[in-house]
Amino acid sequence: MQTAFTPRQLKDPGIAEAAAILKDCVHYGFCTAVCPTWVLLRDENDGPRGRIDLIKAMLETEGRPDAKTVRHIDQCLSCNACMTTCAAKVDYLHLADVARIHIERHFKRPLPDRALRALIAAVVPNAGRFRRAMTMAGLARPFARVLPGRLGDLIRIAPRRLPPASPIGPGIYPAEGERRMRVALLAGCAQQALAPHVNEATVRLLTRHGCEVVIAQTPCCGALTLHMGKERRALAAARASVEAWSAIAADGGLDAVVVNASGCGTTVKDYGHLLRGDALGERAAQISALARDVSEVLFEIGLNEPDTIRPLTVAYHDACSLQHAQLITAPPRALLQTAGYRVVDVPEKHFCCGSAGTYNMLQPQIAGDLGARKARHIESTGAAAVAAGNLGCLTQIGLHSALPAVHTVELLDWATGGPMPPALEGVAIPDPQDADMANAAEAGGDGPVGIW
């Protein structure tokens, strides 16, 4: 696509980056058909191709972005389904980042919007504040209906009960047996408050598989604020994380930075890009190169023989950040199968569940529609539980489905000696012998519709 930026505009690194990305777009439109918001709203401007044109016009035209453009970009989930479909390999992820930062700098949102965004940006990335806010939301739940606008929505999607605070915190957790790797684990922000058992399972699982796990005192990875266009805060978070992990690497070495929330993992893997040109740029690139989803690390190490086979049927939900941004789809399934679970895919698996970082707080209507749609598909599989590698997805699915939603690492931990995931309490676990008989019948190749 031809662009019309002036030489002066192109001196702005953000504009220069956007100009290079925009040139790749040739309007094939494959992206549009897989875009969840386009599928729901059927508006060209609510698909990537339309948004790319809007971003181009917004950046080319100096001055205040128009409200229509801002609305359509705000409605983008950044699920990146468009990127895995795009034949021209348009880097929509970074184009959207540039657009959001531009909007944040040049567009004055109505006061309630600004207040909400400021509240989210101040609270959610901070585990302590988030935990206190969730406690207050629990107290305010009876009044959610009478609270104004989005505040009521926020309280409605807050969890009804908070689990107890976790003993897992900054420190070194030694490997069991021979040390095979030394890894840093991103403790995360919201996850520490909402689901501390995920980090507990991760530490047990990694140490059991020969990893020495180091948890540093790091802030939020910066993903949440970056996706809200708050570049300064995102960069500060990224710098702090890079410094913390670089210090660990310098003091004892580091084989990987392990992330168990794939939304965060996508951002950590992008630190090299985010901090390019920064004084920490080189170190950021090194950290990005070390960043791995927990499933990648375990797949590489190889899962221990499961203690007990529990042939639970698990619907595996591909978090967008794993399947579309990090392109990780096979390792989690393979690990779950090795652990003895029967893994089924979810229809329409390329589609976002509506969580998308802060999206379900900022765009509750679309997020709700997507969440309900995803829940219907998950339940249609007949699985006993749903697994995913991103807490945001699990929380969102839990709002729309009664099916137990567990992190992949919880299931792997359980299979290799850890406790049963809390969400599975009360779920009937199939007898391995019955499952063997069913598998034997299946292996014969005969089914209700075909003889092989």
Partner 1 sequence: MTMASEAAFEAFFRDVGEAIGADNLDRSTETLTRYGENTMPAGDRRPTGVVFPGSTDEVSIVVRLANKHGVPLYPTSTGFNQGLGTRSAPAAGMAVIDLGKRMNRILEVDETMGYAAVEPGVSFQAMADELQRRGGQWMVSTTTGPPQGGMLGNAMDKGAGYGPYFDHFGFSCGMEVVLGTGEVIRTGDGSIDHDVGELFNWHVSKYSFGPILDGLFAQSNYGIVTRLGIWLLPRPPAIRSFHFTFPDDDDLEAIIDLCRPLKLTNFVPTLFRVSNDLYLIASEETHPDYAATGGKAAISDEARKALQNKHGLGSWTVSGAFFGPSMEAIEPQIKRVQDHFGASGKATYIDHTDALAMPPLKCAIDAFSGVPTTQELGMLKWRPGGGNAWFTPGTPMDGKTANEFQKLGRAIYEANGLDYTIMNVCGPRFARGLHVLTFNREDPDESARAAAAYTELADAFAARGVHVGRSPIDFYGYHMEKAMPAFREACEAIKRALDPRGVIAPGKYGIG
**For the sheet containing 385-388, what is the strand order?**
342-345, 313-316, 385-388, 405-407
Of 35-54, binders to partner 1 (CB under 8 A) are 42, 44-45, 49-50, 53
Nearer CB in complex with partner 1: 282/345: 345
* Residue 60 touches partner 1, criterion: CB under 8 A: no
- The pair of three-digit structure tokens given for residue 427, joined into one six-digit string: 């779920």
Separation of alpha carbons 293 and 260, rounded Å = 6
Structure tokens given for 237: 């978070």
Determine the interface stretch with partner 1 among 107-115, 173-181, 341-349, 393-401 (rule: CB under 8 A). 341-349
Partners of residue 258 on adjacent β-strands = 185, 292
Separation of alpha carbons 58 and 413, rounded Å: 48
Contact between 422 and partner 1 per CB under 8 A: no
Q: Give CA–CA dist 246/275, Å, rounded.
A: 14
Among 4, 6, 13, 28, binds partner 1 (CB under 8 A): 28
Which 305-334 positions form the footprint of partner 1 (CB under 8 A)?
Answer: none
Range in contact with partner 1 (rule: CB under 8 A) among 63-71, 81-89, 146-154, 246-254: 81-89
Interface pick for partner 1 out of 347, 419, 422, 432 (rule CB under 8 A)? 347
Q: Which residue has the tokens 């915190």?
A: 169
Judge whether 407 and 391 are in contact, CB under 8 Å: yes
Q: Is 348 in the site for partner 1 (CB under 8 A)?
A: yes
**Closer to partner 1 at the Cβ: 24 or 176?**
24
Helix (H), strand (E) at residue 407:
strand 405-407
Contact stretch for partner 1 (CB under 8 A) within 29-37, 61-69, 275-283, 299-307: 29-37
289 makes contact with partner 1 (CB under 8 A):
no
User: 69-75 — which CB contacts under 8 Å span 24+ positions?
Assistant: 70/103, 70/107, 70/109, 72/43, 72/45, 72/46, 73/99, 73/100, 73/103, 74/362, 74/363, 75/37, 75/41, 75/46, 75/363, 75/366
Q: Is-contact 155 364, C-beta < 8 A?
A: no
Q: Label residues 331-356 b or e (16+ Cβ within 10 Å = b).
A: bbbebbebbbbbbbebeeeebbbbbb
How far apart (Å, rounded) are the C-alpha atoms in residues 154 and 144?
9
The correct pick among 111, 279, 440, 449 for binding partner 1 (CB under 8 A) is 449
Tell me which residues in 380-419 interact with partner 1 (CB under 8 A): 380-381
Task: Give least dist CB 261 to partner 1, A.
Answer: 26
Q: Determine the size of the site formed for partner 1 (CB under 8 A).
A: 37
* Under rule CB under 8 A, residue 89 binds partner 1: yes
Closer by beta carbon to partner 1, 36 or else 188:
36
Q: And the tokens for 295?
A: 């499933």
The answer to whether 445 contacts partner 1 (rule: CB under 8 A) is: yes
Q: How far is the CB of 53 from partner 1 (least distance, A)?
A: 8
Q: Give yes or no for residue 27 binding partner 1 (CB under 8 A).
A: yes
Smallest gap from Cβ 422 to partner 1, in A, equals 29
Q: Which of 377, 386, 388, 404 binds partner 1 (CB under 8 A)?
A: 377
**Of the residues 33, 115, 172, 437, which one makes contact with partner 1 according to CB under 8 A:** 33
Q: Which is nearer to partner 1, 300 or 307 (CB)?
A: 300
Contacts of 343 (CB under 8 A, 6+ apart): 314, 316, 333, 336, 337
Query: Can you read off the two tokens belonging to residue 160?
Result: 């009804």
Binding site for partner 1 (CB under 8 A): 2, 24, 26-30, 33-34, 42, 44-45, 49-50, 53, 84-85, 87-89, 345, 347-348, 350, 377, 380-381, 442-450, 452
